[in-house]
Amino acid sequence: MGKMSSSKVNRYLALKHIAEVANSTSSLKRIFNSIASSTAKAVHANGCRILSLSSQKEYLLTVGTHGLSDLYLKKGPLNAHKSLPDILDGKVVFIADATKDEKVQHPQIAQAQGISSIFGVPILKKGEASGEIRVYTREPHHFSEADRGFLLSVAAICAVLLERAELYQFLEKDYKASKLRMKSAQISPLPTASLRPTSFAHPSEKEFAKLLDFYRIEWLYEPRSFPLKWENGGVTAMFTPDFYLPELDLYVELTTLKQSLITEKYHKFRRLKELYPEINIKLLNKSDYLQLLAKYGYGPLGEAKIEGVNRVLYSHTQIQRKVRVLARRISHDYAGKQLVLVGILKGVICFMADLMQHLSLPVTLDFMAISYYGGDGQTVKITKDFDSNMTGQHVVMVEDIVDTGMTLNYVLNHLSSQNPASLHVCALLDKRARRLIDVPLDYVGFEIPDEFVVGYGLDYKGQYRNLPFIGILHPELIKEDESH
């Protein structure tokens, strides 16, 4: 057997070291930074970055890095769908010239930092990308098949580490929840790839982050640094806002009560606004950010709207993203056809209004109203029938929520009797745990637990329909009403 080449030896030793580090008791940040260092050296790259996909799968968060400047790392939020998007599809991507390739989100920063080539592989979890490993070179570089295999092996180790970190966070949250005597059914599992900072620079930042998490508002912590001063071609002063809220396209810097710190922040804040007028940024104290959240229907200042809501199940952004996905599927399936959307008043109004705006085909609308009677409360009576004749029409029944399926089954039989050309169901929420009749659902937004949900058109005794999110009603509120 011949001797191993020096490259093979380097990759073998690097993989051995990475496995040892991954099994160590060091902090997650130290582990990933060490992996990034070993990876870069093994493939003769100048830098390496290990990235995790954010909870809503929109942004890439740095969890480990080596050989890259702070300016490059904090160049701005890394959009997973704009920055080397093919990696999210499970592909290995090579960029020969990062300064000119359209798949690179910030080519001008790559040029300024002297980055030439980028080689990226996906970190896969159950067949889906949960992160990425990227290596960078200053000179044009050829990566071999052996380099590719090595990086994929490192990615497999990183996948295990990310999953272990998520499990730890979940168990930690579960423990804290039990300390507060919460029922296990009320505990909301963390979404995948939900790694968060383990520490914040100030308690106010942690408090703000918790508030954002409660309302399922996606946030990135210190995702970008803005250069403010330069000397001799180098950056001598930068400003890094505390948070970025993607759904609002807003940077947030939180202030403290110390006047000296406030004065310094105001100076940097004004300088940033002068240099980057296109950036949407706010300098907020506690009362300011509560008002900001209330403006968008969140927070304690909107107490009249959210009193009794135990927690937010889906944010407004998550709902809108799902509605667009459903609309694209329906538009594809009914291409070239006239479509009739039908719904039952009143809960479906919000969903129907948003869904039809994203359909790329001609549609008409119709509604019916029903009431319930009988001892079990499930016997249906039509109080307003559809105005249109459904014979020969392509009909999609739009439902806000399907639980037992009894009402939907009744309405589908009623529609089928009119002999439509086709009849399918689009439901935003599927509460499968309560299903009594197995009705067909062709398009489903979210499958939800057996909880009482309100918001986005769904009500409890006529209230909560105007909430911009879908929340779970506090079970104690229902118990109190049942006892009266």
Examine the residue annotation and report whether 403 is marked as an active-site residue of this protein. Answer: yes
CATH number at residue 369: 3.40.50.2020
Whether 257 maps to a domain, the answer reads yes
253 plus 338 within the same structural domain: no
pLDDT at residue 157, as a whole number? 93
How many structural domains compose the chain?
Answer: 3
What's CA 336's distance to the chain center, in Å? 33
152 plus 230 within the same structural domain: no
> How crowded is the C-beta side of 52, counted as CA atoms within 13 Å?
24
pLDDT at residue 292, as a whole number? 65
User: Of 111, 49, 51, 113, nearest to 79 (Cα)?
Assistant: 51
Name beta bridge partners: 251. Answer: 244, 281
283 plus 322 within the same structural domain: no
- Exposure string over 171-199, b if 16+ CB within 10 A, otherwise e: eeeeeeeeeeeeeeeeebebebbbbeeee
CATH number at residue 274: 3.40.960
Whether 192 maps to a domain, the answer reads no
297 plus 326 within the same structural domain: no
Are the C-beta atoms of 229 and 213 separated by less than 8 Å? Answer: no
Host domain of residue 259: 202-302
CATH number at residue 123: 3.30.450.40
Say which amino acid occupies 114. G
Kindly give the confidence (pLDDT) of every residue in the chain, 484 residues in length, as a single tens digit, with 9 standing for 90 and above. Answer: 455 577 888 888 999 999 998 888 887 888 999 999 999 999 999 999 999 888 777 888 888 999 988 778 877 778 888 888 899 888 999 999 988 888 888 888 888 788 999 999 999 988 888 899 999 999 888 889 999 999 999 999 999 988 887 766 555 554 444 444 333 333 333 333 345 565 677 777 887 887 777 777 778 888 888 888 888 877 788 888 888 887 778 888 888 656 666 777 888 888 988 988 888 888 887 667 667 666 555 555 444 456 778 788 888 888 998 999 999 999 999 999 999 999 998 889 999 999 999 999 999 999 998 887 554 545 677 888 888 889 999 999 999 999 888 889 989 999 999 999 999 999 999 998 888 888 989 999 999 988 899 999 998 888 889 888 898 888 777 655 554 4
327 plus 463 within the same structural domain: yes
User: Of 45, 472, 13, 476, nearest to 216 (Cα)?
Assistant: 472
Q: Which of 242, 354, 403, 430 is catalytic?
A: 403
335 plus 229 within the same structural domain: no
242 plus 382 within the same structural domain: no
pLDDT at residue 278, as a whole number? 87
- Cα gap 423→340, rounded to integer Å: 10
- Cα gap 42→412, rounded to integer Å: 62
pLDDT at residue 416, as a whole number? 93
- Per DSSP, the residues of 335-401 read TTS-EEEEEETTTTHHHHHHHHHT--S-EEEEEEEEEEESTTS-EEEEEE--SS--TT-EEEEEEEE
388 plus 263 within the same structural domain: no
